Structure 1
Amino acid sequence: MAVEGGLKLVKYLVFFFNFIFWLCGLALIVIGVLVQISLHNTLMIKDASGSGAPILLIALGVIVFLISFFGCCGAWKENFCMITMFALLMSLIIIAEIAVTIVGYIYRGKVTDVVKDSLADMISNYNTSSPEFRDTVDKLQHDLKCCGVNSSADWRGFSPEGNTVPDSCCITVTQGCGEGTMSDASKVYQKGCQEAVEAILQENVKWIIVAALVIAVLQILGVVFACLLMRGIRSGYEVM
């Protein structure tokens, strides 16, 4: 009777962990979509490699979402085959997450190149682009309190005299405030946007790492409890 009660608890734990995984999968999908929108609409990153991370998040979220739903059904119905399949697939997901983390660490320098190239494109295309495009660039510089890629000097091709920056570079934005003030630190931000964008990305990466570690621990516990439930079902104990 004690064994039966223990297995009943394991069954509910497996169901609970799968429900958490289901929510995590849904969260990964939403985060992936938001990151994709932010990269291409806010930063206007055109490099295809810039879409790698959000697409990977969305794909991983869909997979975890489906596997977790599968595991929930298996635990609730006490189906040995479904729980075994869940444990196997979740183990593969954990291995894949470890591999992705290693690859991401190896190619972490690529982020700097993508951000730099995208910001350079935004500056070079500023004068010839649509008002919506310019508004996006202006909002980025105004919100991040930055100017150019590495410094305000990156805007030297903005006007014929080479000493004018967009008004969004100004500390206090007024009409025409950027005219002839490129190197005036009292009126124009001198810090480049690359540094500001990378600082935001690094801060977000810290939270992503923390979330990934928490999810990984939960996934491992879920697999362990699933294996315990599999052993109990296979041994012929009835789980109510």
Structure 2
Amino acid sequence: MGVGGGLKCVKYLLVLANFIFWLCGLALVIVGILVQVALHKTFMIHDASASGAPIVIIAIGVVIFFIAFFGCCGAWKESYCMVTTFAVLLSLIIIVEIAAAITAYVFRNKISAVVQDSLTEMITNYHNGTDEFKKTVDHLQEDLKCCGVNSSSDWKNFKPDRNSVPDSCCVNVTTNCGSATMTDPVKVHQKGCHDAVEALLKKNIQWVIVAALVIAFLQIMGIVFSCILMRGIRSGYEVM
């Protein structure tokens, strides 16, 4: 015996909500992968702790992806057991997300130290790095219009004259434009990459937080709809 009236509307809303969850789970997996690639390829951040956030995002995305599919099937089939399991699992996911948010807040100030260490390592390994590594570093400096970690002086060991920087530090990038121009603000960017990278990471984190809040709201609504549907299904069993 299927549910009817207002409960049928709740059923379809739950199916729709789960479809949105499914998309959100897929989006989280994609975002987590992009963040991981950005941290370890574009920004050359090798600190293991930096992988924590994107890995958690990917893991939550995968779990939501499968739970949403499970909940959608349960709602469509009007299975009390499946809908109940879905509500319980979704509640556990919210608890994990809250724990992850608290952890991210506690360690929020570590971003600066991780960026500092990673950029310092980037400059140290520039000479012995592969062509791909050097291109990545150059693209970073060109795109963010910065030079070195805290200033262009961080490249003092780049050449024997201790006054040259990579051409990617130049305001107008041309061949050998960085030779003997380290402290020339007209030709070379004097601002280091640390603040620019940190600001970019924090900006992306803000978008992740906004997305997390939206998903959390949808998840809470999903639990509410699940409880209403569970009650309706159980009432139907009792009538039968």
Q: Give the TM-score, by structure 1 length.
A: 0.95
Q: How does 1:45-64 map to 2 (within 5 A)?
A: 45-64=45-64
- CA deviation string 1:54-84 (max 9, x = no partner): 1111101000001101000100000000000
Q: How does 1:100-179 map to 2 (within 5 A)?
A: 100-179=100-179
* Structure 1 consecutive aligned stretches of length 4 or more whose deviation exceeds 2 Å: none
**1:4 Cα shift?**
2.7
**1:162 Cα shift?**
1.1
Aligned to 1:234: 234
Aligned residues: 236
Aligned to 2:4: 4
Tell me how large the CA RMSD over aligned residues is.
Answer: 1.3
Letter of the aligned partner of 1:93 in structure 2?
I
Letter of the aligned partner of 2:230 in structure 1?
M
Aligned to 1:75: 75
Q: Larger deviation: 84-93 or 126-135? A: 126-135
- Whether 1:201 aligns to 2:201 is yes
Unpaired runs of 5+ residues, structure 1, are none
- The CA distance in 1 between the partners of 2:4 and 2:166, in whole Å, is 72
The answer on whether the counterparts of 1:94 and 1:216 sit within 8 Å (CA) in structure 2 is yes
Letter of the aligned partner of 1:162 in structure 2?
R
**Percent of aligned positions with the same letter in both sequences?**
65
Unpaired runs of 5+ residues, structure 2, are none
Secondary structure (helix, strand or coil) at the match of 2:14 reads helix
**1:10 Cα shift?**
0.6
- Whether 1:221 aligns to 2:209 is no
The answer on whether the counterparts of 1:126 and 1:133 sit within 8 Å (CA) in structure 2 is yes
Q: Larger deviation: 60-69 or 203-212? A: 203-212
Secondary structure (helix, strand or coil) at the match of 2:149 reads coil
Q: Give the TM-score, by structure 2 length.
A: 0.95
**1:237 Cα shift?**
6.5
